[in-house]
Amino acid sequence: MKKVWIDAGHGGKDPGASANGLQEKNVVLEVSLAVKQQLESEYEGVQVLLSRSTDVFLELKDRTNKANAAGADILVSIHCNAGGGSGGFESFRYTSASAASAAFQNVLHTEIMSRLKLFGVIDRNQKAANLHMCRESKMPAVLTENLFIDVASDAYKLKQANVINAIMDGHVAGIAKYLGLKKKEASQPANDKVTVIVNGKNVDGAKLESGIVLVPLRAVSETLGAQVEWDNNTKTATITN
């Protein structure tokens, strides 16, 4: 079982960046919860743990201490940026990060940007900095800065559901790719049974698979007053009146 630690930046009394009708703490919490839901519902063998699942304040040391104590395999700290300029997306690892952290950053950054490019988001590249969340984490750790709250064009994008979904999808894809997670097999819907009526009689055993109605050949034939003969050598079914 792989353990993924998702850290939604800021929270509670610390709103993070605030501008253009947005607060960073709310945007990143929405993304973090969606990442957890999609990873656990679509992939096998993964548990997603959260620094926070509600609007609460946590000290930085509490976030990394909990992630380290949980034995998480990777950590992603999700943020939005501020500081003006042209906006865009960037990611950070620790300045003295391990090769594993650098590799994780490359995969995660690439997957996120491949989706954000469709919306004209500027790639501000992969960077290294002395950030607590990356420095104090004992596992490969990356901090993502998902667009600029105080840049009007970026803020407009962050208000669009399809952009938020792209950010979430990119995080999920990057995490899954780096950890080598396998997608769950699609389960047969509970409502796969259908009703088939032949000459006024119900035919038992009919079901729906991939949009195709499958019915037992012998049951349909006998309802029609016909007989079915099966040749196991040639794998041939012959229907006669």
Query: Would you call 111 a catalytic residue per the annotation?
Result: no
Q: What is the chain written as a DSSP string?
A: -EEEEEEE--BTTB--SEETTEEHHHHHHHHHHHHHHHHHHHBSSEEEEES-SSS----HHHHHHHHHHHT-SEEEEEEEE-S-TT--EEEEEETT--HHHHHHHHHHHHHHHHHHGGGT--EEEEEEE--HHHHS-SS-EEEEEEEETTSHHHHHHHTSHHHHHHHHHHHHHHHHHHHT--BPPPPPPTT-B---EETTEEPTT-EEETTEEE--HHHHHHHTT-EEEEETTTTEEEEE-
Instruction: List the beta bridge partners of residue 209.
Output: 212
Of 24, 90, 111, 145, the active-site residue reads 145
Give catalytic residue positions.
145
